[in-house]
Amino acid sequence: MRPKKSKPVPSEPDSSESLYIRATEEEESGDRWLGSDLAKALRFYQRAYSLYLESIKLQQDYLDSRYNVSRLLFYVYENFVKNDAVLLDEFENCDEALAGGAASVVRPLDQIISVFQESIQIAESVSAFPWDLYYNAVLCFQDFIEDLEKSDNQTFGDIVSCAVQSVEYLEKILEYQVKELESLTTGSEIEQPTQQQEYETQEEAILPSTALESCATAYRIIGSVYDSAKSEHEKQTVESQFGQFVLIVDQIVAQLTQSYSSSNLLPPLSPEDLTQVHYARLGYESSKANNFETLVQIWNTDMTLEKLLLENESYRTFLDKSALSPVELRTVLAAISSRYKQGFDLLKSEFDNSKRNLSASSHLGSTIAQICSILIERADIDLERSKLDVVDEKSRSILASNANKLLRNAITYAQMSGGLRESALEKLARRKKLKEASTRLCLLEGKDSTEELDKIVGATFWPRELAEIRELGIY
């Protein structure tokens, strides 16, 4: 997400500008508390949100407040709503933030999209193009598309409509970013439309990596639409609707790679930048694959943790979309298990290095939570494999035993400390993994009475965990 706008400049009291400045100060206080006290951080974000709304009420086209109010809603959604480790019911003195109305900073994603669209319409009415506002809106749409894919109440047409809007924004963003980069390297100035109101704060500088990130986002969004396409007709719809746009993105990526891999005038593209867009492109290609052999070939590249997790995500999506025989299912599940094992080995090495140098490790808690996630996924996969008819009794017993051991291992890791620098969000992530693993283990061992689950997992937690586990259909 593009960062907040801030402008610590003196202004008239109770003007849109002064309210905006006060709002950014409140938001910065929320950022400081986010690492240690989530409820307190949310209260600051609510104050900031209210001030942004007051600023907009005084001046509807005050674009800086428009930008920040849209971004803040999405930021709070990402950290407090989308994050399944956070239980908002535990928060105290946050009634205004959690009331659910237009005055609350905690809002559902469809309402946040409406706020973004309104802000963009206002920007267009004053002939402004705050590209970062458009880009944050695209990220919001990306999350919404993923939610639609999981919903039983939405159609493929709804997903395509969201993607069409995203692409419309991305086309404008990429056109602007490419022209801006050309102007920076040639010394020419980009022709700007006459604006009725200046976009007062300084926009983030556009670098080659900025445009490449936009291209990666484009690949991910179109890949998500392909993932949701179940029939050949739907796949052809995606191709006809977005195929030309992907070709344009390919051309931009090639142009950026050629022009800015060793640029002297601008910071060159780093290996990490190129890797990110490469993985995004692979994800797009994998979403179009019609068979598992093609999928394996697409991902036959390097062996990083990120690549392995993305590869497994594409395998799981393929399983969900395909009608496979038990033998084919066994093959895919075995491949997923193998990738998770490789990913665990890489992550375990990172964890061991962090433990040896705790003073330099600021994300140990996140590493622990990720280790737990992989162990739990491996347990799920082994248990699923053990239930296949094509698996013999001896292998079935071994796989079921492995699932038990993996869950116990996940519980052990989740109970470890993330170090003195562990943030509140990291602690909650470890707690979530502890509850996930503990609930699964209770079910495997037959400890599924209300009294046992209350004692082992906790009355607050196990009902939600049980509902999620039931969707798997293997416990």
Please check whether residue 200 lies inside any domain of the structure. Answer: no
Structure tokens at 408: 């116990």
**In the structure, what pLDDT confidence band is assigned to residue 37 with cuts at 50, 70 and 90?**
very high
217 plus 316 within the same structural domain: no
pLDDT in tens, 64-123: 999 999 999 999 999 999 999 999 999 999 999 999 899 999 999 999 999 999 999 999
| 241/152 same-domain check | yes
Going from the C-alpha of 36 to that of each of 48, 81, 85, 420, the distances in angstroms are 19, 18, 15, 11
Cα separation, 48 vs 141, in Å, equals: 24
The total of structural domains in the chain comes to: 3
CA–CA distance, 475 with 472 (Å, rounded to integer): 7
Tell me what pLDDT residue 184 has. 83
| Cα dist from 342 to 8, 348, 398, 399, whole Å | 49, 10, 20, 18
Lookup result for tokens 């809603």: 73
> What's the whole-number average pLDDT of the chain?
92
Residue 92 lies in a domain: yes
**Res. 202: pLDDT tops 50:** no
Domain check: are 258 and 294 in the same one? no
User: Do 310 and 283 contact (CB within 8 A), yes or no?
Assistant: yes
Is 344 inside any structural domain? yes
Please list, in sequence order, all residues whose beta carbon lies within 8 angstroms of the beta carbon of residue 288, skipping any fewer than 6 positions away. 226, 235
- Domain enclosing residue 265, as ranges: 129-186+206-288
Torsion angle, alpha carbons of 461, 463, 467, 473, to 10 = 100
Same domain, 386 and 311: yes
* Domain closes at, from 82, 107, 125: 125
Asked if 101 contacts 136 with a C-beta cutoff of 8 angstroms, the reply is no
Global pTM value: 0.92
Same domain (yes/no): 277, 298: no
- What is the tens place of the pLDDT at every residue in 280-330? 999 999 999 999 999 999 999 889 999 999 999 999 999 999 999 999 999
> Is pLDDT larger for residue 359 or for residue 401?
401
Q: Which residue has the higher pLDDT, 391 or 14?
A: 391
Rama region for 14: left / alpha / beta (φ>0; ψ in -120 to 50; rest): left
pLDDT band at 363 (very low <50, low <70, confident <90, very high): confident
Q: CB count, 10 Å around CB of 94?
A: 22
Residue 6 has pLDDT above 80, yes or no: no
Residue pLDDT, tens place only, 241-284:
999 999 999 999 999 999 998 867 789 999 999 999 999 999 99
Domain contains 193: no
Question: Quick count: other Cβ atoms within 10 Å of Cβ 348?
Answer: 14
Give per-residue pLDDT as tens, 135-157: 999 999 999 999 999 888 889 99
